[in-house]
Amino acid sequence: MKSRNKLVASLLVILVLTAACAPRVAHYATPSVSMTEEVLVAATVEVPAEVPSQATPMPVADAGYAGSALPDAPARYDRMVIKNAELALLVADTDIAIDRLTQIAGDTGGYIIRSRMRFKEWLGVNYKYASITIGVPAEQFEAAMRRLRGIAVRVMDENASGQDVTDEYVDLQSRLGNLEATRDRIRTFLDQAQTVDEALRVNEQLAAVEAQIEQVKGRMVYLRERSAYSTITVQLDPELPPAPEATPVPPPTWSPADTARQASQTLTTIVRALTKAVIWVTIVLGPFAALVVGVWLVVRWRARGKEKTPSAA
């Protein structure tokens, strides 16, 4: 029991002292751990308060991290910049432009990341459009951009951007050193554990710290690889032939003969319309008109007959 108390007491004293000496470092995406784990993570060896002008080499990765060592960190003046660019090119022939683009990627030590083709009809002909993304070494970025512009009839759009990740890399390197120092100290506590319960608790904290170390190493590898290669997305649009222009129609000139002919045609049309109207009225309304006239005559005749009868009496 006394040895267990001594172990716990020494663990707390060392963690408090090392936490007081630990510098504040930037935190990136890591899994959440318990309060005890956070105290263990904060436990670090003493480091200088100021970062030197040149970054120190990055520690070698554990054997458990893909069995390989991480590359050395760049110097402060050797910035780590993730470069990206987008080009929209008007080309005479899409297939030839694709071949030249592929050759440029190979000549600069790059590779094709992805490609997409589509076709669009114009004046009865299918024309090919392409979108290709390539990766080139960062030192070949400007040279590749110049050569890509050369395959175009006209550069329609160009956009380039860069993200400086040097400070993030240096912060990760500092954090990695702190985590590895904490891991080594926890391992000494694991060696001093005298009960299974103590060993399990210390091993749990050790596993959490090692998981954070692996995440930091993975992020550092990503930044190194991503800044070592730049991505360029190229949109290839074919040069289309112009649409045929309609033949202009000359305005008509005035002619008396044409005017007389048009007037004659108009008169003929009117006469025909009137004739048609008379025929329709005669045929459709003729019987009704005869009936009405007959009734009117009968009524009138009877009315005259009644007028003559009183006078005869």
Among residues 188, 221, 254, which one ends one of the domains?
Answer: 221
Q: What is the pLDDT of residue 175?
A: 94
What are 236's two structure tokens? 């290839």
127 and 156 fall within a common domain: yes
Residue 202 C-beta-side C-alpha neighbours within 13 Å: 24
Residue 304 counted as domain residue = no
Phi and psi at 111, nearest 5°, equal -155, 165
Q: What is the pLDDT of residue 10?
A: 54
Q: What pTM did the predictor assign? A: 0.51
Residue 73 counted as domain residue = no
Phi-psi region of 67 (alpha: psi -120 to 50; beta: other; left: phi over 0): left
133 and 174 fall within a common domain: no
Rg (CA), the chain: 48
Q: Each residue's pLDDT tens digit in the chain (313 positions)?
A: 445 555 555 555 455 444 444 434 334 333 333 333 333 333 333 333 333 333 333 433 333 333 344 445 444 447 899 999 999 999 999 999 999 999 999 999 999 999 999 999 998 899 999 999 999 999 999 999 999 999 999 999 999 999 999 999 999 999 999 999 999 998 888 888 788 888 888 889 889 999 999 999 999 999 999 999 999 999 999 999 988 887 777 777 777 888 888 888 998 999 899 898 888 888 887 788 788 888 888 887 877 777 666 555 4
40 and 180 fall within a common domain: yes
**How far, in Å, CA of 41 to CA of 178, rounded?**
8
Q: How many CB atoms lie within 10 A of CB 177?
A: 18
132 and 174 fall within a common domain: no
Sheet strand arrangement including 111-122? 111-122, 125-137, 229-238, 81-91, 154-164
- Report the domain count for the chain: 2
Cβ atoms of residues 216 and 123 within 8 Å: no
Residue 269 counted as domain residue = no
Residue 286 counted as domain residue = no
Range of the domain at 147: 81-165+233-238
158 and 173 fall within a common domain: no
